[in-house]
């Protein structure tokens, strides 16, 4: 940012970052030292420049008029508020330092001098148990050791001027999670012996904890810093553990009195699609006090979680009980209602809904586009269509016997679900065809290993080139070997067919599990909702608003086929946007989202605490033997025991970090 006639605030006045001291005070422009990676820190929200930024790795002051003492007090105040109190130095250090800084800030009699504050800060930084205590004195120590003069001058000058800003505490796992679940907190509650409270933390973000605890792709675990010691914490496993407290005699119940401010009867919202995104959005709208109807083309709730994920991974009753939370909160499901077939978006507004959330998902399988491919052939299915057959088979709606050899094409989780389901449906043999290498497969590693253990035969660097049919039936597929090309500029290697390697593999069923798209005909031009070039609903990235006012969209229909956790995160974001739009006519600025953006853009969380940590290995779900499980649809993975949960929870290192900004103006309130 650059104000006319002013020095850009992106120019650092002074500060310390990763041990590097910058001091541009009193220097002319040519002599000023810059940290280029912080050039983009300018405004927090429009018209509100960032004057200073404080973090575990140091602090940067852009406006030399900023009161360091006040800013550090704000930072330590957050730390003291968030200190769990288990370890001595953080429990007492945060409070003692905060109180001392407060006295300095307001000009009260000083209890602790700077030397004592320094000693306490070092004690916290060097001897605290978790990431919070070890890092929350970082900025303070930088100031004490390199800008002690500035601090003393400020203290002598009397009370600090009024400042604005906010502090934000997060952790690598939280930032990695699309739903921003406070992972260390829910793990801590397990460690504390309060699984209900742990579940309560998760339920703040979405109602499908047991589902997520079974099928989440776990961005959190990829980010988990415990992996630098041994293995990431079993975050998903623990989520499933606590989610089981939603059943049984002491089950946590949802009651209507959770809705603090019920809205008038006409505040009705329609949610189109009862999948994870729709359920999540409806849940939050209900909690905001809206009257919500959830329409779905199917006869049951859950969307892809119910139909697309086989019961050996996610039992049907889990999805059912979680979708029933919406009924407890006053929501209504309207089943067998397909958008485009039974109603249009105009119809929804005509029925009195004030806003619409489109969460249709991607329910139509993509074809391979090879010679001889014909969706009407007997024995030919897309992945999603096959999983629907499996679903109907298990649900007792329509029995299907599978025999002979099955070929599945694709490398994602849907392909894995197809091969493992095909085994359970009675296939003679199941082959997976994937055009790249095993390492390139987008499916979860655990899924690939499980499929392999159950006897699926993998063919990598292989692609179908033609569908062979006889009398309207699939009898085989022509395959061709693929070769990896040289790495491109980004290091990615593509594949291309090797001519002359074509051969035919006989099969009775061929499943194309290479992708899905929005059901054609669901959204038509008369709906006034624009689609983008990927044939998904076009939405504003922040507000999820579509081109039609009052219509929002999220989940797979807006993002393309993605994960459960992304879909649920979209539902929450849409609910906030719909609430803002209906109450205020606009979607508000989200301060925490802006903090996350700053944290992400500057890779602030990359640092890790570097002390030796004792290796303790993670627990594993007890699971059924592959020979037994491959013929049945009962859940393969069982829950862990209470002892195992305590063990696993103890592995969390609580890599909390606090980030704090000082701004020119008060930061506007936005959705939490």
Cα 126-127-130 angle, rounded to 5 deg: 100
Nearer to other proteins, 128 or 311 (CB): 128
Considering only residues 97, 151, 619, 662, which one is a binding residue for other proteins as defined by CB under 8 A?
619
Pair 81, 74: CB distance under 8 Å: no
Tell me: does residue 263 bind other proteins (CB under 8 A).
Answer: no
Considering only residues 10, 84, 451, 523, which one is a binding residue for other proteins as defined by CB under 8 A?
84
Considering only residues 114, 343, 458, 646, which one is a binding residue for other proteins as defined by CB under 8 A?
646
* d(C-alpha 417, C-alpha 307), whole Å: 11
Tell me: does residue 249 bind other proteins (CB under 8 A).
Answer: yes
Residue 616: CB minimum distance to other proteins, A: 7
- Which of 506, 508, 440, 511 shows the shortest CA–CA distance to 479? 506
* d(C-alpha 656, C-alpha 167), whole Å: 13
Considering only residues 615, 628, 631, 668, which one is a binding residue for other proteins as defined by CB under 8 A?
615
Nearer to other proteins, 41 or 209 (CB): 209
Q: Pattern 28-67, binding to other proteins, x per CB under 8 A?
A: ----------------------------------------
Q: Which of residues 170-209 bind other proteins (CB under 8 A)?
A: 182, 185-186, 191-194, 196-197, 199-201, 203-205
Strand-pairing partners, residue 55, are 58
Considering only residues 26, 264, 612, 625, which one is a binding residue for other proteins as defined by CB under 8 A?
612
Considering only residues 29, 46, 161, 255, which one is a binding residue for other proteins as defined by CB under 8 A?
255
Cβ count near 527 (within 10 Å)? 23
**Total residues interacting with other proteins, rule: CB under 8 A:** 67
Q: Pattern 287-306, binding to other proteins, x per CB under 8 A?
A: x-------------------
Residue 496: CB minimum distance to other proteins, A: 43
* d(C-alpha 262, C-alpha 265), whole Å: 9
Q: Which of residues 475-504 bind other proteins (CB under 8 A)?
A: none
* d(C-alpha 23, C-alpha 98), whole Å: 26
Residue 583: CB minimum distance to other proteins, A: 15
DSSP 115: H
Nearer to other proteins, 204 or 466 (CB): 204
Helix (H) or strand (E) segment spanning residue 553: strand 551-553
Residue 199: CB minimum distance to other proteins, A: 7
Nearer to other proteins, 31 or 257 (CB): 257
> How many residues comprise the chain?
672
- Any residues with CB less than 8 A from the CB of 284 and at least 6 apart, and which? 571, 572, 575, 576
Nearer to other proteins, 194 or 548 (CB): 194
Tell me: does residue 584 bind other proteins (CB under 8 A).
Answer: no
Residue 92: CB minimum distance to other proteins, A: 4
Residue 203: CB minimum distance to other proteins, A: 6
Residue 615: CB minimum distance to other proteins, A: 6
Tell me: does residue 589 bind other proteins (CB under 8 A).
Answer: no
Residue 94: CB minimum distance to other proteins, A: 8
Nearer to other proteins, 339 or 645 (CB): 645
- Any residues with CB less than 8 A from the CB of 121 and at least 6 apart, and which? 93, 97, 137, 140, 141, 144
With tokens 């329409």, the residue in question is 295
- Name the E strands within 298-361: 332-334, 355-358
Residue 125: CB minimum distance to other proteins, A: 9
Stretch in the footprint of other proteins (CB under 8 A) among 44-52, 478-486, 555-563, 641-649: 641-649
CA dihedral 401→402→403→406, nearest 10 degrees, is: 180
Residue 650: CB minimum distance to other proteins, A: 9
Nearer to other proteins, 157 or 593 (CB): 593
- Any residues with CB less than 8 A from the CB of 342 and at least 6 apart, and which? 336
Considering only residues 21, 32, 63, 86, which one is a binding residue for other proteins as defined by CB under 8 A?
86
Q: Which of residues 88-147 bind other proteins (CB under 8 A)?
A: 88-89, 91-96, 119-120, 123, 126-129
Task: Kindly state the tokens that stand for 423.
Answer: 């085994």
- Concatenate the DSSP letters of all residues of 25-57 into one string: TT--GGG----GGGTT--EEETTEEEEEEEETT
Phi, psi (deg, nearest 5) at residue 473:
-120, 145
Considering only residues 257, 266, 471, 488, which one is a binding residue for other proteins as defined by CB under 8 A?
257
Tell me: does residue 611 bind other proteins (CB under 8 A).
Answer: yes
Nearer to other proteins, 603 or 614 (CB): 614
DSSP 528: -
Residue 484: CB minimum distance to other proteins, A: 35
**Helix, strand or coil for residue 14?**
strand
Pair 302, 486: CB distance under 8 Å: no
Q: Which of residues 381-440 bind other proteins (CB under 8 A)?
A: none
Phi, psi (deg, nearest 5) at residue 160:
-80, 150
Cβ count near 508 (within 10 Å)? 18
Task: Kindly state the tokens that stand for 398.
Answer: 């329509």
* d(C-alpha 656, C-alpha 81), whole Å: 13
Task: Go through 314-345 and write b for each residue having 16 or more CB atoms within 10 A of its CB, e for each that does not.
Answer: bbbebbebbbebbeebebebeeebbbbeebbb
Stretch in the footprint of other proteins (CB under 8 A) among 43-51, 75-83, 271-279, 631-639: 75-83
With tokens 């095993």, the residue in question is 438
Nearer to other proteins, 204 or 547 (CB): 204
* d(C-alpha 251, C-alpha 240), whole Å: 14
Q: Which residues bind other proteins (CB under 8 A)?
A: 80-89, 91-96, 119-120, 123, 126-129, 182, 185-186, 191-194, 196-197, 199-201, 203-205, 249-255, 257-258, 260, 284, 287, 592, 610-617, 619-620, 642-644, 646-647, 672
């Amino acid at each position: 940012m650059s104000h006319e006639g002013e020095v850009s605030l992106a120019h650092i006045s002074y500060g310390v970052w990763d041990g590097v001291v910058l001091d541009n005070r009193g220097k002319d422009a040519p002599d000023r030292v810059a940290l280029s990676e912080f050039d983009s820190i300018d405004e927090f929200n429009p018209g509100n420049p960032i004057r200073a930024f404080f973090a575990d790795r140091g602090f940067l002051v852009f406006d030399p008029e900023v009161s360091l003492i006040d800013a550090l007090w704000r930072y330590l105040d957050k730390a003291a508020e968030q200190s769990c109190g288990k370890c001595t130095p953080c429990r007492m250090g945060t409070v003692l330092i905060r109180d001392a800084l407060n006295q300095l800030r307001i000009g009260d009699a000083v209890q602790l001098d700077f030397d004592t504050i320094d000693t306490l800060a070092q004690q916290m930084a060097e001897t605290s148990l978790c990431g919070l205590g070890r890092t929350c004195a970082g900025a303070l120590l930088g100031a004490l050791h390199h800008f002690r003069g500035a601090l003393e001058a400020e203290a002598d000058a009397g009370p600090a001027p009024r400042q604005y800003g906010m502090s934000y505490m997060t952790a690598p796992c939280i930032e990695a999670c699309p739903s921003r679940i406070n992972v260390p907190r829910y793990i801590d509650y397990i460690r504390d012996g309060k699984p209900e409270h742990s579940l309560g933390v998760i339920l703040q973000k979405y109602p499908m904890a047991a589902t997520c605890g079974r099928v989440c792709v776990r961005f959190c675990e990829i980010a988990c810093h415990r992996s630098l010691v041994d293995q990431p914490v079993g975050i998903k496993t623990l989520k499933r553990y606590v989610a089981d407290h939603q059943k049984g005699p002491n089950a946590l119940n949802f009651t209507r009195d959770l809705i603090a401010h019920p809205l008038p009867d006409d505040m009705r919202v329609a949610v189109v699609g009862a999948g994870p995104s729709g359920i999540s959005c409806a849940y939050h709208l209900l909690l905001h006090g809206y009257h919500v109807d959830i329409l779905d083309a199917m006869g049951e709730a859950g969307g892809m979680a119910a139909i697309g994920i086989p019961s050996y991974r996610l039992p049907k009753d889990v999805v059912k009980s979680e979708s029933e939370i919406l009924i407890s909160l006053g929501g209504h499901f309207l089943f067998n209602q397909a958008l485009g077939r039974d109603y249009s978006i105009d119809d929804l507004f005509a029925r009195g809904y004030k806003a619409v959330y489109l969460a249709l998902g991607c329910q139509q399988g993509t074809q391979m586009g090879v010679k001889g491919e014909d969706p009407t052939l007997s024995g030919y299915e897309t992945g999603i269509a096959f999983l629907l057959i499996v679903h109907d088979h298990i649900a007792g709606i329509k029995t299907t016997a599978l025999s002979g050899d099955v070929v599945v094409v694709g490398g994602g989780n849907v392909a894995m679900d197809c091969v493992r389901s095909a085994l359970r449906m009675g296939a003679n043999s199941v082959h997976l065809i994937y055009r790249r290498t095993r390492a390139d497969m987008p499916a979860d590693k655990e899924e690939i290993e499980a499929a392999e253990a159950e006897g699926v035969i993998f063919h990598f660097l292989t692609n179908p080139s033609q569908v062979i049919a006889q009398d309207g039936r699939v009898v085989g597929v022509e395959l061709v070997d693929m070769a990896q090309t040289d790495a491109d500029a980004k290091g990615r290697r593509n594949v291309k067919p090797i001519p002359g390697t074509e051969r035919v593999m006989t099969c009775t069923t061929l499943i194309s599990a290479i992708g899905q798209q929005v059901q054609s005909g669901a959204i038509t031009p008369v709906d006034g909702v624009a689609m983008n070039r990927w044939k998904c609903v076009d939405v504003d990235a922040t507000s999820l608003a579509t081109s039609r006012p009052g219509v929002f969209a999220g989940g797979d229909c807006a993002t393309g086929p993605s994960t459960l956790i992304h879909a649920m995160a979209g539902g929450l974001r849409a609910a906030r946007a719909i609430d803002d739009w209906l109450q205020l006519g606009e979607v508000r600025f989200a301060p925490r989202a802006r903090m996350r953006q700053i944290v992400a853009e500057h890779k602030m969380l990359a640092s890790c605490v570097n002390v030796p940590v004792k290796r303790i290995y993670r627990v594993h779900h007890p699971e059924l033997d592959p020979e037994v499980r491959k013929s049945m649809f009962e859940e393969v993975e069982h829950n862990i025991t209470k002892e195992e949960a305590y063990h696993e929870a103890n592995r969390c290192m609580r890599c909390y970090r606090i980030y704090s900004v000082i701004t020119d103006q008060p930061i506007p309130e936005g959705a939490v």
